[in-house]
């Protein structure tokens, strides 16, 4: 092939590549910048990542609930599962302690535990489990699809970890607590391992600022 034709080919290829790269960047910027933030529930992190949103789940009495049922109150949401050997009980204990420390202010907050293991966590199992921590704690489950939907909205990571005993398994999952405002939008992410006192302080400062 003559050198000239090779060169032309290279230039043409470079131009097409550049256009493709620009298109991808443009789509990325457009997508991040165009969330319907004004009306949709959920909150936006600094990076433009949407957290939270509408959900449809089932409470421990077997009744359907949606995010709209909690509008007007704050939601403190944690994702986990009742078979969790360590992290979930620790976090839920801290959540219960935080609610206790808030005193009457806790009436403005609905504490919610959402399972990421709907296969085993029936409404009844959720109801019995959350009562171990605090009577106010709401346990929510759903179909595999409903749980996948809310996990995607809240950016929750979860995955089944098969164990050697065929009859049981563990779930790997992220462990943030989400403080959502009365409008359903994210107010604060509370980091894993926070004490009850830290959780109470975080909630108190947010409620005072609103």
Per CB under 5 A, 116 contacts Ni ion? no
How far is Cα 149 from Cα 117, in angstroms, rounded to an integer? 13
Cβ closest to Ni ion, residue 83 vs residue 185? 83
The distance from CA 151 to its chain's CA centroid, rounded to whole angstroms, is 5
Structure tokens at 21: 């790269």
Per CB under 5 A, 139 contacts Ni ion? no
Per CB under 5 A, which region of 30-38, 88-96, 114-122, 136-144 contacts Ni ion?
A: 88-96
Which DSSP helix (H) or strand (E) runs through 32?
A: helix 3-33
Per CB under 5 A, which region of 4-12, 39-47, 51-59, 79-87 contacts Ni ion?
A: 79-87
Cα distances (angstroms) measured from residue 157 to each of 62, 70, 77, 115, 172? 25, 24, 14, 12, 8
Tell me which of 51, 75, 77, 88 binds Ni ion, using CB under 5 A: 88
Cβ closest to Ni ion, residue 84 vs residue 180? 84
Tell me which of 40, 44, 65, 87 binds Ni ion, using CB under 5 A: 87
Task: List Cβ neighbours of 91 (8 Å cut-off, separation of 6 or more).
Answer: 78, 80, 175, 177, 192
Residue that is written with structure tokens 């009436």 in the block: 107
CB of 86 to Ni ion, least distance (A): 7
Tell me which of 84, 96, 109, 112 binds Ni ion, using CB under 5 A: 84
- Give the footprint of Ni ion on this chain (CB under 5 A): 80, 84, 87-88
């Amino acid at each position: 092939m003559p050198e000239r034709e090779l060169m032309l080919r290279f230039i043409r290829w470079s131009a097409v590549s550049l256009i493709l790269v620009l298109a991808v960047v443009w789509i990325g910027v457009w997508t991040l910048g165009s969330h319907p933030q004004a009306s949709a529930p959920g909150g936006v992190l600094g990076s433009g990542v949407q957290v939270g949103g509408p959900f449809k789940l089932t409470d421990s009495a077997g009744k359907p609930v949606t995010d709209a049922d909690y509008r007007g109150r704050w939601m403190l949401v944690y994702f986990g599962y009742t078979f969790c050997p360590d992290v979930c009980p620790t976090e839920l204990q801290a959540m219960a302690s935080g609610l206790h420390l808030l005193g009457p202010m806790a009436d403005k907050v609905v504490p919610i535990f959402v399972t990421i293991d709907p296969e085993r966590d029936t409404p009844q199992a959720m109801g019995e489990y959350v009562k171990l921590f605090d009577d106010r704690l709401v346990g929510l489950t759903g179909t595999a699809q409903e749980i996948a939907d809310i996990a995607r909205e809240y950016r929750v990571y979860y995955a089944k970890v098969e164990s050697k005993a065929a009859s049981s398994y563990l779930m790997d999952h992220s462990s943030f607590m989400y403080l959502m405002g009365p409008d359903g939008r994210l107010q604060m992410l509370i980091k894993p391992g926070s004490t009850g006192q830290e959780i109470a302080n975080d909630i108190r400062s947010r409620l005072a600022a609103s």
